[in-house]
Chains A and B, each alone.
Chain A
Amino acid sequence: MLAALVGEIVSNYSNVLMMFGFAITATAPALLLSKMISPKKRNNPVKFLPMECGQVPKGEGRTHFMMQYYAYVLMFVVFDVMAIFLYSWGSTILNLERTATLPIIIFLGIMFAAMAFALYQSKRRNIW
């Protein structure tokens, strides 16, 4: 019984995976065909340098970089989870008591206060 139920659910999801696999198997031959009919001239090492608008590339491709907006990435980690939590409330709200909305409003208030504080902090570039 349970196995059959699980199987039914999994068979629904397997269609998504099959679509993924079909798209890859349908488009990979284009790459193979391109490999077969395109010209191959390996006489020029400059051709395989990274593209830098005609200049000879300088330094590494992957360098240290300024995470100027790192604060937003940190906030994303918190508020993305919050947004998905709200879905579990929203999809069952028709079966809930009306009073059950109040704790959610309080939860939203707490999250909003935290978000305002985080946005205020994200403007202070010198602490990052």
Chain B
Amino acid sequence: MSIIAPKFRLGYFIKSLLDNVFWIIILLTLVGIPTIQVALFFIDLPVIDGDLLTPFLALTWLADPSRTLPIVKTLMQTDFFKIAVFPGFGFAALLAAGTIFVERKLLAKLQLRVGPFYCGKIEGLLQLMGDGLKLISKEIIIPAKADKPIFWIAPLLFVGTAAAFISLIPVSPGWVIADLDVGLLAFFVIIGFFPIITVLSSWSANSKFPFIGGIRALHQMVSFEIPLILSLLGIVILTGSLNLSEIVESQYNYPWIIFMPIGAIVFFIAMLAELERIPFDLPEAESEIVAGWLTEFSGMMYGLVQLGSYLKLYAFAALFVVLFLGGWNGPMVIPPFPQEIITDGIELGPISVTVPGLPLFTPEMLNGTFWFTIKTVGVIFFILMPRGVFPRIRIDLLLHIGWYKLIGLAFVNIFISLSLLYAGVLGPGGMI
């Protein structure tokens, strides 16, 4: 029983919102505007281009697109915009939210169910928002004997580490948050933190089911990290670079999946294991050990862990696209920006406005983002599909697959790329 639910009516909710708006307007007119006017008596306003910069003039400039667009363009080049909005957190969170909705509907259709249906009138579109509200209004219960500081901070660390992973992904030419020379090694470093966080949170919960789940997560990530690392060595051999942007540029003609399908398959399987998705969801096997290492998380803490795991899913899918499917490369589909708008301005009936700095995004950037998003969504779809089809794998079989088969296949992939290099097919001075 929550505080919001029992007497909740949409009418009351709207009324409370309107009340707040009413009081804000009253207070602004009676207190805010006189305060500003009194303050303006004592401030010397600057003179710009021969005009006194009154608040009226400042507001006029804000509404003038020829003055705001350059500001917007400058803002978009800052690190904060990149981190918060476009290749960073906002973009990833949007795709992650879409993934959750699509996953639930897709699984429902696979199993002849309906899935989320009532919330939001059309096919349950607002189900995610409803779930978020539910999680945020639930009480957070922490076991009495738990190690509280670590237990509190574990979900935050999980989200933060997933976000740090996202910062390595090049989405479009030049649109990457951290363009590291050793981007691939940084990726290995970051995925090395996930088992640590899992084991820390499960140990701090001081409960049996999280403990078993944490130990399972440790074994699983330990046995699949080596195939994951080795399956990417072929790409590094053929590109001679660890920078992710350079790896994307090297696939201008052919994506690497054509030459290294075995490496792609090994990477995909290891990726499923690192993401703890079916058939490798042993750490949170809900039919055996309640919810594995998530058992003691309640309310918004569970929600944060889920957010982190879906951000991680997006990041892994994006990394697969960057490494094997050619990243932002693709045929040009965005039409070029019309030149007469730059030279003559926009004509609206009698008036025509010339707006400097108008192509807000270059066509290359739009095209790159388009292809990157299409490919990433495709890979996410392939990550979601096994959940509706496969059963869970046994832990000794899991270790057997990781250590015997995937490592062997990864070495086969390395020798394929070596022979491609030495036979003169690829690489500098090669046939292609």
A interface residue numbers (CB < 8 A to B): 9, 12-13, 15-24, 26-28, 30-31, 33-35, 37-41, 45, 47-53, 57, 60-63, 65, 69, 72-73, 75-76, 79-80, 83-84, 86-87, 90-95, 98, 101, 108, 112, 115, 119
A16 B140 Cβ-Cβ under 8 A: no
Chain A binding surface, main DSSP class: helix
Q: Which of B180, B208, B395 contacts A52 (CB 8 A)?
A: B208
Q: What is the distance, in angstroms, from A7's C-beta to the closest C-beta of chain B?
A: 15
Contacts of B163 in A (CB 8 A): 19-20, 22-23
Q: In the bound complex, how far is the Cα of B223 from the Cα of A128, in angstroms?
A: 18
B206 A90 Cβ-Cβ under 8 A: no
Q: In the bound complex, how far is the Cα of B92 from the Cα of A27, in angstroms?
A: 14
Q: In this assembly, does B56 line the interface, its C-beta being within 8 Å of a C-beta of chain A?
A: no
Q: In this assembly, does B421 line the interface, its C-beta being within 8 Å of a C-beta of chain A?
A: yes
Contacts of A21 in B (CB 8 A): 160
Closest to B167 in A: A19
Interface size on B, as a range, is 35 or more
Contacts of B414 in A (CB 8 A): 86
Contacts of A72 in B (CB 8 A): 219, 222-223, 399, 403
B179 A12 Cβ-Cβ under 8 A: yes
Q: In the bound complex, how far is the Cα of B126 from the Cα of A81, in angstroms?
A: 47
Q: What is the distance, in angstroms, from B341's C-beta to the closest C-beta of chain A?
A: 34
B215 A76 Cβ-Cβ under 8 A: no
Contacts of A57 in B (CB 8 A): 207-208
Contacts of A60 in B (CB 8 A): 206
Q: How many A-B residue pairs have CB under 8 A?
A: 201
A83 B304 Cβ-Cβ under 8 A: no
Give 21 pairs: A residue, B residue, CB < 8 Å, sorted on A. A12-B181, A16-B168, A20-B164, A23-B164, A30-B136, A30-B304, A31-B300, A35-B140, A38-B138, A39-B3, A48-B144, A50-B145, A52-B207, A53-B290, A61-B145, A61-B208, A91-B242, A94-B240, A108-B411, A119-B403, A119-B404
Contacts of A20 in B (CB 8 A): 160-161, 163-164, 167
**B171-185: which have CB < 8 Å to A?**
177-181, 184-185
Of B135, B233, B242, B290, most buried by chain A (CB within 10 Å of CB) is B233
Q: In the bound complex, how far is the Cα of B158 from the Cα of A82, in angstroms?
A: 27
Chain B binding surface, main DSSP class: helix
Q: In this assembly, does B209 line the interface, its C-beta being within 8 Å of a C-beta of chain A?
A: yes
Contacts of B407 in A (CB 8 A): 115
Contacts of A87 in B (CB 8 A): 184-185, 229, 233, 236, 242
The 5 closest A-B pairs by CB, nearest first: A23-B163, A50-B207, A61-B206, A19-B167, A34-B300
B interface residue numbers (CB < 8 A to A): 1-4, 79, 83-84, 88-89, 135-145, 152, 155-157, 159-164, 166-168, 177-181, 184-186, 188, 190, 203, 205-209, 211, 215, 218-219, 222-223, 225-226, 229-230, 233, 236-237, 240-242, 290, 295-296, 299-301, 303-304, 307, 395-396, 399, 403-404, 407, 411, 414, 418, 421-422, 427-428
With A18-B79, A51-B296 as contacts: A90 and B237 at CB distance below 8 Å: yes
New A-B pairs, 13, CB < 8 Å, besides A39-B139, A73-B218 = A12-B180, A15-B178, A18-B83, A22-B88, A22-B89, A23-B89, A34-B137, A48-B142, A48-B143, A62-B203, A72-B403, A76-B226, A98-B422
A27 B222 Cβ-Cβ under 8 A: no
With A22-B84, A90-B237 as contacts: A31 and B156 at CB distance below 8 Å: yes
With A16-B178, A50-B296 as contacts: A38 and B140 at CB distance below 8 Å: yes
Contacts of B206 in A (CB 8 A): 50, 60-62
A83 B141 Cβ-Cβ under 8 A: no
Q: In the bound complex, how far is the Cα of B168 from the Cα of A30, in angstroms?
A: 25
Q: In the bound complex, how far is the Cα of B238 from the Cα of A110, in angstroms?
A: 24
Contacts of B180 in A (CB 8 A): 12-13, 16
B144 A83 Cβ-Cβ under 8 A: no
Contacts of B142 in A (CB 8 A): 48
Of B160, B295, B396, most buried by chain A (CB within 10 Å of CB) is B160
Closest to B236 in A: A90
Closest to A77 in B: B222
Contacts of B157 in A (CB 8 A): 24
Contacts of B237 in A (CB 8 A): 90, 93
Q: Which of B188, B207, B240, B307 contacts A92 (CB 8 A)?
A: B240
With A31-B304, A50-B205, A65-B215 as contacts: A91 and B160 at CB distance below 8 Å: no
Q: What is the distance, in angstroms, from A120's C-beta to the closest C-beta of chain B?
A: 11
Of B167, B186, B215, B295, most buried by chain A (CB within 10 Å of CB) is B167
With A31-B301, A73-B222, A80-B225 as contacts: A37 and B89 at CB distance below 8 Å: no
Q: Which of A23, A73, A98 contacts B160 (CB 8 A)?
A: A23
Q: In the bound complex, how far is the Cα of B89 from the Cα of A24, in angstroms?
A: 11
A27 B2 Cβ-Cβ under 8 A: no
Q: In the bound complex, how far is the Cα of B136 from the Cα of A21, in angstroms?
A: 22
